[in-house]
Amino acid sequence: MEEINEKEFIELLTSEQHSEHLNLIINFENATTVDLFKITLSNRFINCKFIGKRLDFLNMSLSADSDPMHYFHFEACEFQNEIYFKECFLRELRFSKISREVNMLHIAPIKLGFLTFECAESIEAEALNNINIVIHDCEIEHYLDFLHLKSSGSLFINDCNIKQVKIHDCTFKRIDITHNQFSNEFQFTLNEISDSFIEQNNFEKSNFSLTDFGFKAKFESNEFKDTALFQKLKNEYRTDLEIKDCNFYKYTDFNNSKLYELRIDKSKFQEFVSFQELELNSIFLDRTIFEKPAFFDDIEILRFNNCNKRTLRNIKQQLLRSDNKIDYDSFRSHELNSYKEELKKKIKLKPNVNKRKLRRDLSILRVNTFFSNNGTDWVKALKRTVIVALVFYSVFFILHNSHRELDLFNISNYNEYFIGLFRYFLITDFHNPLTNKSEYLSSVLEWIPFILGKILIAIGIYEILVSFRKFKK
């Protein structure tokens, strides 16, 4: 490869005979500024290496009505120095087949027609290059495309007005997209990002599907004016997705995504929103408005104990609006469990609360949980009712027969025990179940397990009925 300096580089750009430059090492020994007004309109660099000091492209003579005319194409090039495009008008800026380092690329023209940055699709995901790109304070009239870019660096897009964006199958350590206006479609799909900060933007139609947002993804103060898709997001082990102070004006879809944690705070959904078959470790909803039904069908939350009562109540209300009775009962159960834990903390940590009332409520919740998981498990309710009946009836049976010796090998004693047990399940019959006569018990000591058992059996039967009713209207 031939090596040239900055003076020879400028001579190439001003040459009207050659617009295509191949296999060059361009060493900028001094910081260099290129006046676009003095160079040819089209330049293409193939397999070139830029090293040394900073290189600036700009227009020395600018007018407000200047038309974007210049075209630059960098193919299979490497940039070890800093490259700036600023205060200029460009028709098209294209980077293709990039497979090596881009130390720092600043793109800040006043107006740009097309911007494309594309790597070879065949590059392995493990072959990450240090590629750092900053795009700011510019208007892109047609589209911005990033395709198959695998970088261990960062991408910043700030204070821009862009018609259409496509960032597809890319890898970055960090992405910051802030204070932008996207007037057409914004596509951000099949990407892998460690940290994302997308704040104070105006989106029309947007699509973030199939993206791995890594450790942290924060959407704050954004306006989504058209359909917003977050389908099949894919990192259930570490992604913390936070949506704060955002407005969604059209249909929003989180279906089939897998996240570690989803936080939605102070946001507003004006149309239908779907969280169907969403899988996550925990979810947090607070001060969020759903003007139309939100669909949480078949959502799978692995750690309900990490979700607060307010979140579970919010989801429960949306399930009721969408007439999902089965999932509604499940979330009602988890809401009551959350409230039970809240009561424990209040009784323990807050000295000025009405502890007597709280203990009564806590006792009721504990009984509901003991029998049927708050009316959701009829099998458990049936088992616990039988066990409770056996325990209290056995205590009563022993007390009632304490005056006589029982022969464990006499089958008549077993007949007496089980016949009395079946009678004991008649919760409205308070006669002695061990006699055929309508006699009441004569010992206060016998009445205690007799009555307590009847009460708990009645509660158990009620819990069985409630558990069955979840399949009824």
Local structure of residue 306 (DSSP, 8 states): G
Q: Tell me how far CA of residue 351 lies from CA of 75, 284, 338, 340, 342, in angstroms.
A: 72, 28, 21, 18, 14
Q: 309-321 and 325-349 are packed helices; what angle lies between their axes, rounded to 10 degrees? A: 160
Q: How far apart are CA 345 and CA 353, in angstroms?
A: 11
pLDDT in tens, 181-205: 999 999 999 999 999 999 999 999 9
Place of tokens 């350590």: 173
Show the beta-strand stretches assigned E in 159-231.
Answer: 161-168, 171-178, 181-182, 186-189, 192-199, 202-203, 206-207, 216-220, 223-224, 228-229
Q: What ranges in 185-268 are assigned the alpha helix state H?
A: none
d(CA 5, CA 21): 14
Provide the 3-class DSSP secondary structure of residue 341: helix
CA distance 28 to 33: 11
d(CA 241, CA 264): 8
Collapsing DSSP to helix, strand or coil, 76 comes out as coil
- pLDDT, tens digit (0-9, with 9 covering 90-100), for 386-436: 999 999 999 998 888 887 776 666 777 778 888 889 998 888 888 889 888
Reading the block at residue 322, the tokens are 């969408």
- pLDDT for position 386: 94
Query: Please, which residues have CB within 8 angstroms of residue 217's CB and are 6 or more apart in sequence?
Result: 193, 195, 196, 198, 239, 240, 241, 242
For the CA atoms of 457, 460, 465, 470, the dihedral, rounded to the nearest 10 degrees, stands at: 180
Which pLDDT score is estimated for 407?
Answer: 66
Reading the block at residue 265, the tokens are 């705070």
Note the pLDDT of residue 436. Answer: 83
pLDDT digits 0-9 by tens, 248-305: 999 999 999 999 999 999 999 999 999 999 999 999 999 999 999 999 999 999 998 8
pLDDT of residue 185: 96
Is residue 46 within a helix (H) or strand (E), and if so which, with residue range?
Answer: strand 42-46
Beta strands in 169-293 (DSSP E): 171-178, 181-182, 186-189, 192-199, 202-203, 206-207, 216-220, 223-224, 228-229, 234-244, 247-248, 252-253, 258-265, 268-269, 273-274, 279-286, 289-290
In this predicted structure, what is the pLDDT of residue 210? 96
Weakly modelled stretches of the chain, pLDDT under 70: 62-67, 121-128, 406-409, 469-473
31, β-bridge pairs: none
Amino acid at 276: Q
Query: What amino acid occupies position 444?
Result: V
- The pLDDT of residue 128 is 67
